[in-house]
Amino acid sequence: MITFVDAEAKTRRTAGVIPLHGEAGFAGMRKAGRLTAEALDVLVDAVRPGVTTAALDRLAYAFARDNNAIPATLFYKGYRHSICTSINHVVCHGIPDERPLRDGDIVNIDLTLIVEGWYGDSSRMFAVGEISRKAERLIDVTYAALEAGIAAAKPGNTTGDIGAAIQTLAETERTSVVRDFVGHGVGQLFHDEPNIMHFGVPGTGVPLKPGMIFTIEPMINLGRPHVKILPDGWTAVTRDRTLSAQAEHSIGITETGNEIFTLSPKGLFNPLAARR
Ligand code: MF3
Ligand code: CO
Ligand code: CO
């Protein structure tokens, strides 16, 4: 059973209850999404060989503090950092540490900033120095997959149409879609209804309605889709150790399509494309 509720109604969010946001929600998400994107833009300049992911984490924390925002992952379910840094075969939820980035690494940085109670959630791929052609291709496919998903995010379609668009694009390019992590409703909660799967069957799932706000965040692997979690309890890696990439936007469904809240003011959402 799916029920839609006014996001401002103080209804408890149980499974199957999908909040529909009004202008206040869209305004809140615009602000939070923009600040998150600005923080990621700052990180584009900072990512280079020799920099540690812990240093990037400190940079993100300082940016948040200086802009009256709170990193949503800080103390979230025991997580102790402002960003996730997922390098090479790490699929997602990589933990910042003191190991320096190396020439040829690809790294996803995922940041969620809370601004006046609204959560802007976004991630991008960063290339460290010169990367391989296969890494570059994977990153291009990942951004194209996210774009295909966003293009399908409109009234009249369903969540399954988003997943199918992403899966078709990824598999046509002989890459695979990770099944174990999904996009999610976002707003005044970090993870809300509905789940947005990055694979699926057209026409199935939840009908998309104006006012729905959620992330799309496909994780795409060069090899097989299977992942395992390392003993730290967070880091997800590809089982076959092939490269993995991810890109994430927070979007809202409008009457005619969607609004992307986490666009880069500097045009650096795909930093690799920006420097070609
Ligand atoms: N930002 C991630 C997402 O896209 C969630 C990270 S939770 C953490 O949903 F605890 F791993 F940081
Ligand atoms: Co997310
Ligand atoms: Co995220």
Could you tell me the pLDDT band of residue 9, with boundaries at 50, 70 and 90? confident
Q: Which atom of ligand 1 is nearest to the CA of 190?
A: 9
152 CB neighbour count, 10 Å cutoff: 22
pLDDT digits (tens, 9 = 90+) for 201-248: 999 999 999 999 999 999 999 999 999 999 999 999 999 999 999 999
Could you say which ligand is closest to the alpha carbon of residue 213?
A: 2
pLDDT digits (tens, 9 = 90+) for 20-48: 999 999 999 999 999 999 999 999 999 99
Q: Is the pLDDT of residue 11 over 70?
A: no
Helix, strand, coil content of the chain in percent (nearest 5): 30, 30, 45
So what's the pLDDT on residue 12?
Answer: 62
Name the residue of 61, 73, 77, 195 to mutate for ligand 1: max ligand atoms within 8 A of Cβ.
73
Q: Is the pLDDT of residue 13 over 70?
A: no
Tell which residue, 196, 215, 217, 212, has the closest CA to residue 156: 212
**Cα 90 to averaged position of ligand 3 atoms, centre (Å):** 14
What is the mean pLDDT of the segment spanning 157-186?
A: 98
What is the mean pLDDT of the segment spanning 164-181?
A: 98
**pTM score:** 0.98
194: cis peptide before it, omega within 30°? Answer: yes
So what's the pLDDT on residue 118?
Answer: 98
User: To 10 degrees, what angle do helices 133-151 and 159-172 make?
Assistant: 150
Q: What is the spatial distance between Cα 215 and Cα 92, in angstroms, rounded to a whole number?
A: 15
